[in-house]
Homo-oligomer: A and B are copies of this chain.
Amino acid sequence: MVRLNKLTDYAVVILAEMAQAGGVTTASALAARTGIPGPTVAKLLKILAQRGLTLALRGRAGGYGLSRAPTAINVAEIIEAIEGPVAVAACVEGALENCEFEPVCAMNGHWNRVNEVIRRALTGVTLADMVDAETPAFGFPRPPAKGRERGLGETPAI
C-alpha cells in the first residue's frame, strides 16, 4: 500500500512528541507518552541520533532532544534515516539495490519521475506541520505554547 513500515511511523510519532515537549526527554518518558514499547523507542532514538536528527545527552540527567527546530526537519529526512533512500522500486536512482530485469524492462527509468514527485512531496512536509497544534495530542494536555518556552536543557518534568 505504498506503506511506511511501522518503525518509520513510530519514529515520526516520537519526533513529533519531542517537538511538542521541547527540551530534553528520556527514552522511557517518550515510550510512556506515545504507547510505543520502550526498547523500540530506545532503538529508534539511537538511530535518529546517529543520523543527526536528535542530540543525545548521556549521564544521569541525560536524554534526547531535537537537533534542529521542528520547522527545519522534514518527513523525507526521517524516513530516510530509518529506511534508507526513498525508492518505490529497485531500479530508481539512489536505490540501494539493482533490478535484475533492468536491461529488459519496458519502463527503463520511468519510475524515477514517480519517485521524484513522491520524494518532493515528503520533503515539503516538516515535523512542525505534523504537530501543528490545531488538534493537540489527546490525553497529554499541556500549557499554551507561550508557557513552555524554555530553552533546551531545562529537562522534562518526568
How far is A95 from B1 in the complex, measured between Cα atoms in Å? 9
Query: Contacts of A110 on B, CB cut-off 8 Å?
Result: 129-132
19 interchain pairs, CB-CB under 8 A = A1-B79, A1-B84, A1-B87, A2-B2, A2-B122, A3-B87, A3-B89, A12-B107, A13-B105, A13-B107, A16-B107, A17-B106, A20-B106, A34-B104, A108-B135, A110-B130, A110-B132, A111-B130, A118-B122
Q: Do B125 and A16 touch across chains, with their CB atoms under 8 A apart?
A: no
Known: A87-B1, A117-B121. A104 touches B9 (CB 8 A): no
**Does A137 lie at the interface of the complex (its beta carbon under 8 Å from any beta carbon of B)?**
yes
Please tell me the number of chain A residues within 8 Å of chain B, measured between CB atoms.
Answer: 50
Q: Do B107 and A138 touch across chains, with their CB atoms under 8 A apart?
A: no
Question: Can you add 5 more A-B contacts, CB < 8 Å, to A4-B88, A103-B139, A104-B140?
Answer: A2-B2, A17-B106, A34-B105, A114-B122, A118-B121
Query: Contacts of A140 on B, CB cut-off 8 Å?
Result: 104
Q: Do B86 and A1 touch across chains, with their CB atoms under 8 A apart?
A: yes
**Does A62 lie at the interface of the complex (its beta carbon under 8 Å from any beta carbon of B)?**
no
